[in-house]
Amino acid sequence: MKTKKIRMPGFFKGLKVTFMTMLKTLFPGGLKKPVPNPSAGAHTVQYPRVKELPPTRARGVIALHTENCTACMLCARECPDWCIYIEGHKELAPPRREGGKPRQVNKLDRFDIDFALCMYCGICVEVCPFDALFWSPEFEYSEPKIDDLLHDSKRLTNWMDTVPSFTEYEDGSEQKVRAVPDPVEKV
Amino acid sequence: MSQTEQLSYIAGQAADARLNLELETDGMVINLGPQHPATHGTLRLVARLEGEEVVEAEPIMGYMHRGYEKLAEVRTYLQVTALINRIDWLGSFANEVPFILGAEQLMEIEVPDRARWIRTLLFELSRIANISLFLGEMGLQLGAVTPAFFAFRDREFVLNQIEQVTGGRFHPNFDRIGGLKDDLPAGWIAETKSVMKRMRTFCDEIEDLLVGNEVFETRMRGIGVIPAEVGLSYGLSGANIRASGVDWDLRRDEPVGLVYDQLDWKVWTHPDGDSFARYWVRVQEVREATKMVEQILDGLPSGPIMAKVPRIIKVPKGEAYIQTENPLGAMGYYIISKGDLTPFRLKIRSASFNNISITPWLLKGTLVPDIITILGSLYFILGDIDR
């Protein structure tokens, strides 16, 4: 007589998977020395108390290095949502060398980014030819009023403190690691 | 029979007739959606029922139409890339690739090897991120909540890897005409390898949880069978058509610009064509994708990641159509350029639109509870349908 092979029904097989996951979550240190520590085994964190840091390249908020900005309007033109507002004027600065002609410099009057409209594509940071815009992974700037999401140049400059330095590249890359400019004193 | 009895007999007959008239079953029309948790967005399905049986079903699309084809006409190529991320929001990077390849074909740009390899790598990572969510969500359609949580948990690792490279979890906006925006950060390769191992464990877990499960099998096997010729005539693509036994994969058949021809992998098919086959093929596809990612990580050539491209991109006059095998199926962009900063016309062929078009044929004669299973197993994303 052929003996019928006893197969574990799929239902119980599934229960086993769930049970093992529960054990792994409850005892992340292993079952040999079962110390229950579900907060370490869980994949989530208790947000306001524990914070997960986004990677350095994360597109959280745009920081402005005002010294480098020449009000060339490239970012405002390339922005798909037109959420960057720039106003500037030309000014005569003292000449660099003795006896030279006075230089013409572009002064920034207004640099606003409306984060309510921004879609975080990063095109403005990419097209900036003078290294004035940087991404910061900071993300906690939600506001009760939508108008307050319009960050002016002062607020954008303050984000410069949170900009992390650029990461090194993986082997075989020919990219050059860029440097983040030193923050100027706060306005 | 007395007169009273006669009258009461007539009254009774009349009451019966009225009751019959009221109970006359004329079929019932139910609206599934537009806001229904089982439709992944805003798809409305109007089904005419005869008892529990569906006589006629018609999907009504367009609730999420955003007019991408028209929007693209007034945006530069750099801006279009940011826009088309939002078509299939679960595997965003895969949306960018065919568009960029088409523009590169028009501009006749030779892309560096390293960029092509990293493109393929991110393409497969977005496939894993996309399909692994389906693997969990299919359980949710049938009332099993655990697989969905498992899928969200393990998919997060893949999204983290994508975010570390591109800066965006959902919308990478990383592909550029001529190459890529940036190179891989240090330490990323080793981390990704361990994540790939984890994703294979996830596939095993999900197979133990669902594929062997008796309830799952009875609800999926033999339900919603698509014969190969019907599927082909409706323009199905991707895993849906491979589950019907058609050995068709654009990654192998026309590997334009990507490096699939240099990798060792297999196209999985299933002869049945039912809901279960579609699920099974996708489980294998995730496995195959993890293996492909590991091969790419091992064989990554060194070099630049960007070809020489003018700063202001003007695509020369011409037309190009490029199709790639996206997570949901064949996705193509038909670009017509008149030599301007913006495309003159951009036609988007997205997989889900064709995949959902089979539902009137497929749902005819099925039972009401099976609607959800069949819709779930076809796996569409509403952003991909309506664009």
CB pair distance less than 8 Å for B186 and A122: no
- Asked whether the predicted pLDDT for residue A175 surpasses 80, the reply is no
Identify whether A116 is part of a domain.
yes
CB pair distance less than 8 Å for B82 and A121: yes
Those of residues 258-297 in B touching chain A at CB distance below 8 A are: none
Residues A65 and A32 in one domain: no
Residues A92 and A157 in one domain: yes
- Supply the DSSP symbol for B49: E
Tokens of A9: 């029904």
Tokens of B215: 């309830």
Q: What is the DSSP string of B164-199?
A: HHHS-SS----EETTEESS-PBTTHHHHHHHHHHHH
- Supply the DSSP symbol for B262: G
pLDDT, mean of residues A96-111: 78
Angstroms from B183 CA to nearest CA on chain A: 7
Identify whether A107 is part of a domain.
yes
Those of residues 322-351 in B touching chain A at CB distance below 8 A are: none
Identify whether A171 is part of a domain.
no
Helix (H, G, I), strand (E, B) or coil at B46: strand
Residues A89 and A142 in one domain: yes
Phi-psi region at B266: left, alpha or beta (left = phi > 0; alpha = psi -120 to 50)? beta
Identify whether B45 is part of a domain.
no
CB pair distance less than 8 Å for A135 and B167: yes
Query: Any chain A CB within 8 A of the CB of B167?
Result: yes
Query: Any chain B CB within 8 A of the CB of A167?
Result: yes
Identify whether B263 is part of a domain.
yes
Angstroms from A1 CA to nearest CA on chain B: 27
C-alpha distances in Å from residue B312, one per residue of A122, B77, B228, B308: 17, 10, 47, 12
- Asked whether the predicted pLDDT for residue A99 surpasses 80, the reply is no
Identify whether A3 is part of a domain.
no
- Residue of chain B with shortest Cα separation from A12: B213
pLDDT given for residue B376 in this prediction: 82
Helix (H, G, I), strand (E, B) or coil at A82: coil
pLDDT given for residue A107 in this prediction: 78
Identify whether A91 is part of a domain.
yes
Query: Any chain A CB within 8 A of the CB of B299?
Result: no
Q: Give the closest of A10, A120, A170 to B188, CB-based.
A: A170
Look up the CATH number of the domain holding residue A157. 3.30.70.3270
- Domain region containing B265: 76-362
Residues A109 and A152 in one domain: yes
Query: Any chain B CB within 8 A of the CB of A13?
Result: yes
Identify whether B189 is part of a domain.
yes
Angle at the Cα of B188 from the Cα atoms of A164 and B171, rounded to 5 degrees? 70
Q: Give the closest of B114, B163, B216 to A58, CB-based.
A: B163
Residue corresponding to tokens 């798909």: A80
- Asked whether the predicted pLDDT for residue A3 surpasses 70, the reply is no
Query: Any chain A CB within 8 A of the CB of B158?
Result: no
Identify whether B101 is part of a domain.
yes
Q: Give the closest of B164, B216, B303 to A57, CB-based.
A: B164
Identify whether B297 is part of a domain.
yes
The structural domain count of chain A equals: 2
Q: How far apart are CA B130 and CA B89, in angstroms?
A: 9
pLDDT given for residue B219 in this prediction: 83
CB pair distance less than 8 Å for B208 and A58: no
Residues A115 and A144 in one domain: yes
Identify whether B372 is part of a domain.
no
Tokens of B105: 């074909």
pLDDT given for residue A5 in this prediction: 56
Identify whether A184 is part of a domain.
no
Three-state SS letters, A86-131: EEEEEEEECCCCCCCCCEEEEEEEEEEEECCCCCCCCHHHHHCCCC
Query: Any chain A CB within 8 A of the CB of B186?
Result: yes
Identify whether A139 is part of a domain.
yes
Angstroms from A63 CA to nearest CA on chain B: 15
Angstroms from B289 CA to nearest CA on chain A: 22
CB pair distance less than 8 Å for B165 and A57: yes
* pLDDT less than 70: residues of chain B: 20-26, 34-41
Other CB atoms within a 10 A radius of the CB of residue A38 amount to 11
Q: How far is CA B164 from the centre of its chain?
A: 24
pLDDT tier for residue A186 given thresholds of 50, 70 and 90: very low
Those of residues 201-230 in B touching chain A at CB distance below 8 A are: 205, 208-217
- Domain region containing A19: 9-41
The structural domain count of chain B equals: 1
Identify whether A26 is part of a domain.
yes
pLDDT given for residue A187 in this prediction: 46
Identify whether B153 is part of a domain.
yes
Q: Give the closest of B82, B163, B303 to A80, CB-based.
A: B82
Look up the CATH number of the domain holding residue B248. 1.10.645.10
pLDDT given for residue B23 in this prediction: 62
Q: How far apart are CA B184 and CA B117, in angstroms?
A: 12
Helix (H) or strand (E) holding B158: helix B146-166
Other CB atoms within a 10 A radius of the CB of residue A19 amount to 11
pLDDT given for residue B214 in this prediction: 79
- Residue of chain A with shortest Cα separation from B210: A14
Residue B179 burial by Cβ neighbours in a 10 Å radius (0-12, 13-18, 19+): buried
Residues A153 and A83 in one domain: yes
Identify whether B375 is part of a domain.
no
Q: Give the closest of A10, A58, A167 to B213, CB-based.
A: A10
Tokens of B261: 């021809």
Residues A101 and A153 in one domain: yes
Residues A73 and A153 in one domain: yes
Residues A70 and A22 in one domain: no
- pTM of the full structure: 0.83
CB pair distance less than 8 Å for B164 and A18: no
CB pair distance less than 8 Å for B208 and A16: yes
Q: How far apart are CA B202 and CA B132, in angstroms?
A: 9
Q: How far apart are CA A64 and CA A62, in angstroms?
A: 7
